[in-house]
Amino acid sequence: MANEWTNSASFYSASSDSALPDGMPESLDGVVDQVFAALSTSRENFAPQLLLREVGTVTSVLTGIATVDGLPNVGYEELLKFPGNVYGIAFNIDESEIGVILLGDYWHLKAGDRVERTGRVMDVAVGDYLLGRVIDPLGRALDDKEIEHTNERMPIERPAAAIMDRSPVTVPLQTGLKVIDALIPIGRGQRELILGDRQTGKSTIAIDTIISQRGQNVVCIYCAIGQRASTVGRNIAIMREKGAMDYTVVVVTEGDAPPGLAYIAPYAATSIAEYFMNAGRDVLIVYDDLTQHARSYRELSLLLRRPPGREAFPGDIFYIHSRLLERATRMCPEFGGGSLTALPIIETEAQDIAAYIPTNLISITDGQIYLSPTLFELGMLPAVDVGKSVSRVGGKAQLPAYRAVASDLKLAYAQFEELETFARFGASLDASTRKIIEHGQRIRSCLKQPEFSPLSVAEQITVLLALIAGLFDAIAIARMTEAQKIVQESAAKIPADVIDRLLHAKSLSTEDRAAIVQIARQALADFKS
């Protein structure tokens, strides 16, 4: 055995003399010596570094919040890390404790758990890859698909654009709804409030508007705050069926989610929208709805022992909504020329639009669309109360073709609503009054529209011009829906150059108006015959 080892060693030594590279030891002992020499050198050169970290301790956990002891240098709204990969936002910073809004499943947290600072504020991943996805405010996927990893993130709280960086609202945002596009127009960069009682069709108008953006190069963000999972799932299914998910991002917090997620949801959704706006694109964001957002913030504030104000809401409830909606704007061309249009939704109780939250948001936004329960019960869908609805800046962005008919339509409809009230008392009416009422009934019938069926500009203008011209006056009320459909279909016969002028001309010419009315008249003649 010894001879074999000697022979092997001799052979290795002999072969290594010619094969080993420069600097390599010639024997096993040399290898060992070299390794130990390297270890000794590393040990002598090692200088331990002391890393300072602030660590706090959970003192109590309540529904959606936690109080933390320690962390003397924590900043306001700094992101804190709890066990189980749960994060929270430092919201109350007192001398003795910190009130934290929890953003995840907090049920496993308990007093004594360790809390660490992150040194950053809450942010959200942004990018084109989010189009067509359903996520929560933390950026986690809710649609059973993997989320691409990205290093591009934006804080959820960002200052609104400076006044001098903004441009006036001059470009319309078509909703596909005749009653809105004609009478309560919305411009790109506008903030238009949608309010009404429960189950009056507020979300339907928002979804219709999203569907109407197909082919309009508008990115849509649908932010569902505290909604039932079944309702959100239905809306997503409709948008997917209509092909709207291709350009839409859905941010969801369900009703049973922690209130902290409902609180940050609209801010996270707005940061995602601002990513596209900063890239020079037009963006539409829907907050469905801010009533739930206000209630979640009230719950958190009361748990954090903040003093309550009117209707138990904290005193800064106006501020949290104003700093959110002020981020909606249209940017100057020097800053990309993108726009962010906001459609916040508010739920009223017993038609009380003078309540605290509705009045706050009416004062912040550029107009409101009010949905009447009375009109809803009468089958007038969408149940828009034209008298109580207004668009303060959208008229400047409205297409000239709509402006040509809007004033006459508004006046006739207002006269009808006033006379209709007197007619209910059974008073005898003269022929002119009856004619106004009958024409108003046809206006109301023409303003009806099935849900999730937005109309093109040409279809809307054809119906409205036919209405103003009195072409429907000879049609029985019972057949108005059928007649209106015939006129809508006749819009396909409008020449392409006329349609182009409807979209881009500075005014509706007499010739184009007469041509469209003639097409509608011929369609109704065939319908009557």
Same fold flag, 55-121 and 127-391: no
Q: Annotated catalytic sites, by residue?
A: 392
510: amino acid identity, one letter: T
Domains of the chain: which residue ranges? 2-45, 55-121, 127-391, 402-528
Residue 211 burial by CB count (10 A; 0-12/13-18/19+): exposed, middle or buried? buried
pLDDT tens for 181-215 read 999 999 999 999 999 999 999 999 999 999 999 99
Quote the tokens at residue 274: 């601002």
pLDDT tens for 423-466 read 777 667 788 888 989 999 999 999 999 999 999 999 999 999 99
Candidates 1.20.150.20, 3.40.47.10, 2.102.10.10, 3.80.10.10; CATH matching 402-528: 1.20.150.20
**Dist CA 493 CA 460 (whole Å):** 14
Quote the tokens at residue 488: 């809508």
- CATH number for the domain running over 55-121: 2.40.30.20
Cβ neighbours of residue 159 under 8 Å, at least 6 residues apart? none
Residue 72 has pLDDT above 50, yes or no: yes
In this prediction, residue 12 has a pLDDT band, given cuts at 50, 70 and 90, of very low
Q: What is the mean pLDDT of residues 283-290?
A: 96
In this prediction, residue 244 has a pLDDT band, given cuts at 50, 70 and 90, of very high
In this prediction, residue 5 has a pLDDT band, given cuts at 50, 70 and 90, of very low
**Dist CA 368 CA 344 (whole Å):** 10
Judged by average pLDDT, the poorest of 36-45, 177-186, 449-458, 506-515 is 36-45
pLDDT of residue 427: 65
Q: Which pTM was predicted?
A: 0.88
pLDDT of residue 370: 97
What's the chain's average pLDDT? 90
pLDDT of residue 296: 95
pLDDT tens for 466-498 read 999 999 998 999 999 999 999 999 999 999 999
- CATH number for the domain running over 127-391: 3.40.50.300
pLDDT of residue 146: 81
| Pairing verdict, β 114-121 and 123-125 | unpaired
**Dist CA 238 CA 393 (whole Å):** 30
Quote the tokens at residue 346: 């508010």
What would the DSSP string read from start to end of 33-94?
Answer: HHHHHHHHHHHHH---------EEEEEEEETTEEEEE--TTPPTTEEEEETTTEEEEEEEE-
Query: In the beta sheet, which residues pair with residue 191?
Result: 342
